[in-house]
Amino acid sequence: MSAQHAFHDFGALHFGRRAELDPEEARRVREAVRDSGVRELYVLAHGAHNDDAVSEAADDAFCAILAEAWGDASREVGLLTVRWPSLCFRDEGIWGHGEAETTREEEARPGISAAMGDDLRRRLPDSEGLLSEIIGLLNERPSHDGAFDDLGSALRRLAETPLQDPLTEFGADTEGEILPQADPLMLFEDTKTMCCEFAGVLDDLVESEDEDPGEPARHETGTGDPDAPVSEEGTLPEIRVAGHRPAKPLSGRVSRVGTAAGGGPMGQERDRQEYAEVWRGAHELFRQVVRHVLRRRAGVVGEAGLGPFLADLTDSSGTRIHLVGHGLGGRLAGFALRGLEPGGKDTGRLASLTLLQAEMSHFAFADSLPQQVAGHGALWGLRRRIEGPLVCTFSHLDTHLGVMYPLSAQMMGDTAEMATMSRKWGALGFDGIQGVDGPPDITVDAASERDLGEMSYTNVDSSSLFRSQRIPVGGHHDVLHPDLGRLLRQVAESGKDRDRDRDTDADAEDVEPGTDIE
């Protein structure tokens, strides 16, 4: 990390694919934090770990906005980053890449560049043969349907895990449904059909480039309150049941009722697509299958790795820990809540959790699923493990989470035929935490005037900031703005008064009755 920042730099904590952590490294970090005297410690998890250079660039970029926000007070603040075997595709405009390099990657689509191929083999080392087969197909793009059958078979083998493998438990963000959700539909639907679907979505996003996306689409609930705006996506008044929806996605394909298996435009278009267009969709299908593998890995690293480490760190240091997760790192940070109390013991809590464009279901914290007769979010009930604010930023211009995520996250056996795809399979980073009681969404400007610690959940509409229209990810990586740094500082400071009040109350309880307190 750059030495120009005044933060206490605790470096990076390295996890393996199964949450492996070097005990000696963990001990050094705990001792360094304890001995530093730092009161406020940010722990940052993101998904841009293609190689060391990309990881370093992303860490430095986040550190820079925090350093700017804290100014001279940054000497009181520390930063610890989480390194884990993840990646982002290089055409997404990731940190450390200039515009020219990103453009070269875009021009290589639907093929896979040599650099991207190296990244994939580095992060998925057990699948080198499969990756070579998939990359070969995308680079050669044969003009016959059998090639898509070969692609689908390779993608399924890339993502598959044995039923007894603990990894299978981390494939979904909801639990307790009558029919367990584990296998993405995109892997089992006809492969050419899915490629056509993703190609059509890319066309939708190209068409939307020339349009002013404007303000979120809302309408009245029918409850008589004209100031209670929600989207058109539900059948019940949504204020309490599932919260506000910020906008319709920029593709009508994810606003259809049911799942992709229901046919509709996708099936009708299948035979009319030119092979070049189908392979363009195949590239996107490949991206989403890789993201599925990494989302599953993020859950494992969060629950079995980072969570227990943070529990030990709070015990040993007394430092206020502010966990921040972006994108895939948002899922890792969310699942870390499940590992904070190993063995059921209350071994530590976070001072705050901030989810930046988190790649996770918007029902992850819900105690029930609006379109299901049973089930709840995978993080239901875990709000108690956070002492201070739980903040979720979202942007209706994050097309990766608003459009691609619902298509890739829908599961086999889904029975929510009365719900749209984006409603059932929406992401936190597109429309915030859903299915919980809480205040209305607020903007970044409004958040600066609120006590974020007094609300159970805070959804911050960041569409005015995170609004890049880069295809296909939109504003997903467009998060490094000074306003975000100020929000992260506000989150950290929101719980300070509460901590002081609690300490004062504890001191008062230790005083003998009748004793005067000066």
Three-state SS for 180-218 is CCCCEHHHCCCHHHHHHHHHHHHHHHHHHHCCCCCCCCC
Q: How far apart are CA 19 and CA 303, in angstroms?
A: 8
Per-residue confidence (pLDDT) for residue 368, from 0 to 100: 81
Q: Is 95 left (phi over 0), alpha (psi -120 to 50) or beta?
A: beta
Q: How far apart are CA 299 and CA 17, in angstroms?
A: 11
Q: How far apart are CA 378 and CA 26, in angstroms?
A: 27
Collapsed DSSP state (helix, strand, coil) of residue 449: coil
- Show Cβ contacts of residue 291 under 8 Å, excluding neighbours closer than 6 positions: 328, 359, 408
Find tokens 């080392």 and name the residue.
125
Backbone angles phi, psi at 75, to 5 degrees: -65, -20
Per-residue confidence (pLDDT) for residue 224, from 0 to 100: 37
Per-residue confidence (pLDDT) for residue 414, from 0 to 100: 60
Per-residue confidence (pLDDT) for residue 212, from 0 to 100: 56
Whole-Å CA distances, 280 to 48, 198, 283, 444, 473: 23, 8, 5, 36, 15
The CA angle 261-184-326, to the nearest 5 degrees, is: 125
Q: How far apart are CA 487 and CA 352, in angstroms?
A: 12
Per-residue confidence (pLDDT) for residue 449, from 0 to 100: 87
Its pTM surpasses 0.85: yes
Per-residue confidence (pLDDT) for residue 263, from 0 to 100: 39
Strand 352-356 relative to strand 320-326, pairing: parallel
Where the chain has pLDDT below 70, the residues are 1-6, 176-182, 209-247, 257-273, 342-348, 371-373, 413-419, 439, 495, 497-518
Q: How far apart are CA 38 and CA 25, in angstroms?
A: 19
pLDDT of 9-31, one tens digit each? 899 999 999 999 999 999 999 99
Q: How far apart are CA 430 and CA 476, in angstroms?
A: 9
